[in-house]
Amino acid sequence: MKKIIDLIAESVSGAFVASGYEEKYGSVSVSNRPDLCEYQCNGAMAAAKAYKKAPIMIANDVVEKLQSVEMFASVEAVMPGFINIKLSTEFLTSYMNEMLSSDKFGCEEAEHKKTIMIDYGGPNVAKPLHVGHLRSAIIGESIKRMGRFMGHKVIGDVHLGDWGLQMGLIITELKKRQPKLVYFDDSFTGEYPKEAPFTISELEEIYPAASAYAKEHPEYKEAAMQATYELQHGNRGYQALWNHILEVSVNDLKKNYEKLNVEFDLWKKESDAQPYIPDMVKYMKDNGYAYLSDGALVVDVKEESDTKEIPPCMILKSDGASLYNTTDLATIVERMKLFSPDEMIYVVDKRQELYFEQVFRCARKTKLVDEDTSLRFLGFGTMNGKDGKPFKTRAGGVMRLEYLIGEITDEMFGKITQNHEVDKAEARETAKVVGLSAIKYGDLSNQASKDYVFDIDRFTSFEGNTGPYILYTIVRMKSILNKYTQTGATLEDIKAVAFDESNESAKSLLLEAVRFNGVIENAFAEIAPHKVCAYIYNLANALNHFYHETKILAEEDEEKKKSYIALLVLTKNVLESCIDVLGFEAPERM
Ligand code: ARG
């Protein structure tokens, strides 16, 4: 379906043309003075310069042409030349009815369908999944879902960190603790054991221990670097160990992501890029892109227009070892080869912005991607505690994701069981669903690039701009609709017949509901899930206002009642589509 704002603009542009002015002046926007009008056009002000006329005269010309257009309840020219527009309830009603019978409630799929890869999650194996990785998972998942809703082919890749120094550290620590393990016997040629010599909890203790030890002991760090190099260059025993580490970690990660309702299409790893590295390096050297600088192989990526210093992109260290950059560039090579995406979106901590700037420039300059392949970095800010410092446990440690989810679920369970008798098992399930909305909405409702305060009390509240409030609103509608159908009425093919012009709360709700397709399209184009949140918060407020102002089930006029119900059906569907795109869902009751 055409967006409502485009329909309005078409009509207004037509009136500009009919009055002898250029079409382009007819663009409209949602009013910033809702007390005066619903939509507005400021084109007369711009046209005034071009046509050397007073803006109000132009506005008057245009408004005159719009007087008998059915779409509008009123169109007025006001000083100095604004055009204020109110839509007719009839037009809104027919638009909403069309939404009800359209696929995706009027949200049209993109004309040009793209293949888009999203690099998100980005956990590191052998390190526990902590809140730092939470944001990437939540935001990336939402962008993936939005893209699919718009009809694109979207491939989500977790891009595990499995190829860096942390691997060498773990191997070195294991060797120190259990030197007799067969993995460290160079003369061993047999098959390595199937079982890993550690559990996930042991693994998670080993890494921080090794990392702390390495900081104090240079020779130990040296050994870990050597082990990393050997792992990357074919040491059999180390590779067998690394396989164990991977398996144990990935199992644990999958469990965690499942709890978050986050699902990856690809479980690719940094190491998967390794086979592409030698050819890529040769290609960069042969084509004169890469050169040696202090023994390291680098590609210059600075540009004349730079206002800050952009250092060269390092491809190989002086000892020939690959780096984070190397695997990222080789991963781009792999992605182009396997999927030839039109777009790659990276959802990563914003502190890596400069790094990605280098990588993207390098990929473009060396033509690893096609000219029209878009590379986008979506950097997110830090999730802070109420003290304004990065979020920690009460004891001050790094918060494991599982504990955080557990804490929120308990909090929700307490709230749900507090006021009324409910089945405990059902309340547990509901608490999980509502808890997840609290975490995800709390995150997504902030612009990704900003830091935000993770405030459990606020996020789990049923009031205010929160996930539970949105769910509560949906559940309220479900309950009304259930009562309606229990009287024998049906919701199938339900349509609105008429609304009273005087029912302002119904009109406000209509005005919000019909914006759905425009909001989703725009939020995806700007990769901005927070815009979907802002929209559903307004929509939920409009619904609740309408609910308080209007007798719905008790309405005696059947036509009116049916129209109200149809409006609820649409609002519920729009809200549910939006939260699905954000990555959570609503329970039946709460
Ligand atoms: N593993 C990385 C980290 O924890 C994030 C990976 C982001 N993606 C990428 N292609 N580099 O910082």
Q: Is the CB of 122 under 6 A from ligand 1?
A: yes
Which pLDDT does position 502 carry in this prediction?
A: 86
Q: What is the pTM of this model?
A: 0.94
Task: Report the run of H or E that residue 520 belongs to, with start and end.
Answer: helix 516-525
Q: Is the CB of 348 under 6 A from ligand 1?
A: yes
Alpha-carbon dihedral of residues 277, 278, 283, 285, nearest 10 degrees?
110
How many angstroms separate the alpha carbon of residue 279 from the centre of ligand 1?
Answer: 23
- In this structure, which long-range contacts are made by residues 522-529, counting pairs with CB atoms below 8 Å and at least 24 apart in sequence? 523/146, 524/143, 524/146, 524/147, 524/149, 524/150, 527/143, 527/345, 527/376, 527/378, 527/448, 528/447, 528/448, 529/139, 529/142, 529/143, 529/146, 529/444, 529/448, 529/581, 529/582
d(CA 254, CA 289): 40
- 3-state SS class at 355: helix
Residue 341, number of CB atoms within 10 A of its CB: 23
The DSSP secondary-structure symbol of 109 reads: P
Residue 516 structural domain: 401-582
Atom of ligand 1 nearest to the CA of 133: 4
CB burial of residue 528 (10 Å; 0-12, 13-18, 19+):
buried
Which pLDDT does position 294 carry in this prediction?
A: 93
How many angstroms separate the alpha carbon of residue 321 from the centre of ligand 1?
Answer: 18
For residue 88, what are its two tokens? 């007719």
- What phi-psi label fits residue 20: left (phi over 0), alpha (psi between -120 and 50 degrees) or beta? left
How many angstroms separate the alpha carbon of residue 550 from the centre of ligand 1?
Answer: 51
d(CA 590, CA 415): 10
Q: Has residue 554 been placed in a domain?
A: yes
Q: Are residues 78 and 175 in the same domain?
A: no
Q: Is the CB of 119 under 6 A from ligand 1?
A: yes
Number of structural domains in the chain: 3
Sign (positive or negative) of CA dihedral 22, 24, 29, 32: negative
Q: Which of 200, 226, 258 is the last residue of a domain?
A: 258
Q: Which of 87, 104, 128 is the last residue of a domain?
A: 87
Q: Has residue 214 been placed in a domain?
A: yes
Atom of ligand 1 nearest to the CA of 331: 10
Q: Whose CA is nearest to atom 2 of ligand 1?
A: 122
For residue 28, what are its two tokens? 């409209």
**Phi–psi pair at 322, nearest 5 degrees:** -90, 160
Q: Whose CA is nearest to atom 7 of ligand 1?
A: 122
- 3-state SS class at 298: strand
Q: Is the CB of 268 under 6 A from ligand 1?
A: no
Q: Are residues 75 and 177 in the same domain?
A: no
pLDDT one digit per residue (tens) for the chain, 590 residues:
999 999 999 999 999 999 999 999 999 999 989 899 999 999 999 999 999 999 999 999 999 999 999 999 999 999 999 999 999 999 999 999 999 999 999 999 999 999 999 999 999 988 777 777 899 999 999 999 999 999 999 999 999 999 888 899 999 999 999 999 999 999 999 999 999 999 988 988 899 899 999 999 999 999 999 999 899 888 999 999 999 999 999 998 999 999 999 999 999 999 999 999 999 999 999 999 999 999 999 999 999 999 999 999 999 998 888 889 999 999 999 999 999 999 999 999 999 999 999 999 999 999 999 999 999 999 999 999 988 888 887 777 777 888 889 999 999 999 999 877 889 999 999 999 999 999 999 999 999 999 999 999 999 999 999 999 999 999 999 999 999 999 999 999 999 998 988 889 999 999 999 999 999 999 999 999 999 999 999 999 999 999 999 999 999 999 999 999 999 999 999 999 999 999 999 999 98
Q: Which residue, 387, 390, 383, is CA-closest to 448? A: 383
How many angstroms separate the alpha carbon of residue 121 from the centre of ligand 1?
Answer: 8
Atom of ligand 1 nearest to the CA of 132: 4
How many angstroms separate the alpha carbon of residue 230 from the centre of ligand 1?
Answer: 22
How many angstroms separate the alpha carbon of residue 324 from the centre of ligand 1?
Answer: 9
Q: Has residue 272 been placed in a domain?
A: no
Q: Has residue 35 been placed in a domain?
A: yes
Which pLDDT does position 543 carry in this prediction?
A: 98
How many angstroms separate the alpha carbon of residue 153 from the centre of ligand 1?
Answer: 23
Q: Which of 232, 258, 284 is the last residue of a domain?
A: 258
Q: Has residue 524 been placed in a domain?
A: yes
Q: Has residue 179 been placed in a domain?
A: yes
Please report where in the chains the tokens 């070892």 appear, as a residue: 321
Question: Domain with 426 in it: what CATH number?
Answer: 1.10.730.10
Residue to probe by mutation, ligand 1, list 250, 268, 332, 348, most atoms within 8 Å of CB: 348
